[in-house]
Structure 1
Amino acid sequence: MMSTIAAPEFAMYHDEWHLSPILDTGEFVFFSGQTDTRPDGTVSADPETQFRDAFTSLGKNLAAAGLGFSDIVEMTTYHVELRRHLPAFMKVKDEHIRPPYPAWTAIGVVELITPGTIIEIRIIARRSKPGA
């Protein structure tokens, strides 16, 4: 049985965008893309702050699902000006993502949904691990 989950500050996306911020399928949990847009709708002008805000949002949604960063098995990131901002993104990513690292694909894009955003992070997490 599938269920929709969202951290309280992101629950409005279910009704406004007709999506599941988090879709829990039991073993695997799918997270819609997390951007650097803060719950109040603002976006920092500083790239490193945007990356921190995106990982903060992701952490809140992981916690809402009873998971943490170590449960991530796959991550896809979408970047405006990928090569320009990759060193700053890697720095912030490495503060949250630790070995064993998830599978990761980084994709450069022209724009994202909210004006001014430069990052979107989509993940799949696994609720149970073999041998755990």
Structure 2
Amino acid sequence: MNTQVLQRQSFNPGHTQAIYDNFHFSQATRVGNMIWVSGQVGIDEAMVPAEGIQAQSHLAFQSLRTILEAAGASLADVVELMTFHTDLQGEVHAFGQVKDEYFPERYPAWTAVGISQLAMPGLRVEVRAVAVIGSGRI
């Protein structure tokens, strides 16, 4: 029987510490080699949403990459994506094109959900992920 104690770690890189302090959630939680990443949105460092689904998608994936790297993983280690869209039917194709730039092969599982709104006015998409450290190695 494995008696190893698994330690839980939170990750809030750079400017995201204010989100942790004000809204009481971590950008990512790591237990063992698993990482759960909170939903990432298409905002800049001034917390202003980018214009359009493609720009917001790029910012969300860039933020996802930064948080995974802080926790010891990479985008290649992502095994599951869940995305939330305010216009799923109208924008899923454009979102998918951006997603494929960040995941060009060995696609993770993906669930896309249409919703009526996100946390801030102007947001179009939110991306959350689960990663397994080392699973992206070929």
Identity of aligned residues (%): 31
2:4: which partner in 1? none
Alignment of 1:27-38 (within 5 A): 27-38=33-44
What is the identity, as a one-letter code, of the residue corresponding to 2:61?
F
1:4-34: per-residue Cα shift (whole Å, max 9, x none)? 0122121222111111111011121000000
1:2: which partner in 2? 8
What is the identity, as a one-letter code, of the residue corresponding to 1:62?
L
Check conservation: 2:73, 2:134, Cα contact below 8 A.
no
2:53: which partner in 1? 47
1:112 maps to which of 115, 118, 128: 118
1:95 maps to which of 98, 101, 108: 101
Larger radius of gyration: 2
1:23-48: per-residue Cα shift (whole Å, max 9, x none)? 01112100000011222111122221
1:79: which partner in 2? 85
Question: What is the alpha-carbon distance in structure 2 between the residues aligned to residue 14 and residue 73 of structure 1?
Answer: 25
Question: What is the alpha-carbon distance in structure 2 between the residues aligned to residue 72 and residue 109 of structure 1?
Answer: 23
Question: What is the alpha-carbon distance in structure 1 between the residues aligned to residue 71 and residue 53 of structure 2?
Answer: 27
Check conservation: 1:27, 1:126, Cα contact below 8 A.
yes
Structure 2 spans left out of the alignment, 5+ residues: 1-6
> Mean Cα displacement is larger for which, 56-65 or 114-123?
56-65
Normalising by the residue count of structure 1, what TM-score does the alignment of the two structures yield? 0.93
Give the CA deviation at 1:74.
0.7
- Structure 1 runs of 4+ aligned residues shifted over 4 Å read none
1:70-113: per-residue Cα shift (whole Å, max 9, x none)? 00011100001011111110110000013211111000000000
Structure 1 spans left out of the alignment, 5+ residues: none
Question: What is the alpha-carbon distance in structure 2 between the residues aligned to residue 94 and residue 45 of structure 1?
Answer: 20
Report the RMSD for the aligned CA atoms in angstroms: 1.7
1:19: which partner in 2? 25
